[in-house]
Structure 1
Amino acid sequence: MATRTQARESVIGLLYAYGLGNEGITKFVDEILEDKKIRNKQKDFALSLFNGTVENLEKIDEEISSHLNQGDLNDIGSVEKSILRLAVYEIVFADLPKAVVINEAIELSKRLASDGAPKFVNGLLDKVTKA
């Protein structure tokens, strides 16, 4: 059975594709999650995260942008942006434990993103939680 971490990792992949302009991926989310063995409660969890993030994307991007010290959203790498979008959704809209969300985002950024990403993700999410 998949873990919540694996569900989040799959959602990051979906958000990555969506963020690159593949909005049609929303039609294949069920199949993609099934291929990754994300099923039952974890599938429901992943679907709620993906759909919630996509539905609130404008507000999420505004939240991220408001906490950037320099540059804008377009300056953030696509993987890092996907991780941040998911984490901000979870913090602001999903009412999940902030410490858990931030820790998951940092761990996922260590595995999936650039070397400087964990520090950047941690700093930005810390600002979001204190806002």
Structure 2
Amino acid sequence: MSAARASRSVARLAAVQALYQMEVSSTGVEAVIREFSDHRFDRDVEGETLASADEAFFADLVRGVVREQKPIDAAIVKRLAQGWRLERLDATVRAILRAGAFELMHRSDVPTEVAIDEYVELTKSFFEGPEPGFVNGALDGVARDVRPG
């Protein structure tokens, strides 16, 4: 994996963590972005330096999901099983779906397959059950809706 792709993968993971943190603690978007920039990126963990994050990409994801949350949520809900509400999903899954849907809807520079694959892989780092398949199906559906052809 190239350094640029790795730094975007780290940014996606951080964005999901930031969105989750904002939801459970009601922290504002700029405060969360500042916290990640000041305290989480480019830190040593047990003597190992984490891959550096694409901080501009991270901030764009987090701000974008917050700014576009209503249309993002509507695009996701359209792809949930009938009768399912977004609130029923695990908060981490919700954050993953929102970040993935934002990329599909607003980051045309990111190929569809890359966006979906990145968020499915990210889901696998949090869950061992059916969640990665669920995320794959939901994001694939969103992609078909927002990126025709």
The equivalent of 1:66 in structure 2 is: 78
Specify the code of the residue in structure 2 equivalent to 1:62. Answer: A
Number of residue pairs aligned between Structure 1 and Structure 2: 131
Instruction: Name the residue aligned to 1:3.
Output: 7
Secondary structure in 2 matching 1:3: helix
Task: Name which of structure 1's ranges 51-60 and 37-46 shifts more when overlaid on structure 2.
Answer: 37-46
Distance in 2 (alpha carbons) for counterparts of 1:63 and 1:47: 22
2:16 partner amino acid: I
Q: Which runs of 5+ in 1 are unaligned?
A: none
Partner-residue secondary structure (3-state), 2:129: coil
Structure 1 residues 41-87: Cα deviation after superposition (integer angstroms, max 9, x where no partner): 71111001111111001110111111111311011110001000000
**Alignment match of 1:113 (pick from 127, 130, 134):** 127
TM-superposed CA distance for 1:34, in Å, is 3.5
Larger Rg: 2
State the percentage of identical aligned residues.
28
Paired residue type of 1:4 = R
One-letter amino acid of the structure 2 residue matched with residue 42 of structure 1: D
The answer to whether the 8 A contact 2:97-2:135 is kept is yes
TM-score by length of 2: 0.79
CA distance in 1, matches of 2:128, 2:7: 24
Query: Is the CA contact (8 Å cut-off) linking 2:61 and 2:99 kept in structure 1?
Result: yes
- After superposition, the C-alpha distances for 1:13-61 in whole angstroms (9 at most, x for unaligned) are 1101122251335324123233222598711110011111110011101
Give 1:45-64 correspondences, 5 Å limit: 45-64=57-76
Counterpart for residue 89 of structure 2: 76
Counterpart AA for 2:92: V
Distance 1:41 1:18, change over 3 A: closer
Match of 1:122 in 2: 136
Q: 1:91 aligns to what? A: 104
Q: Shift in Å at residue 114 of structure 1?
A: 5.1
Aligned partners of 2:22 and 2:32 also within 8 Å:
no
Aligned position for 2:40: 36
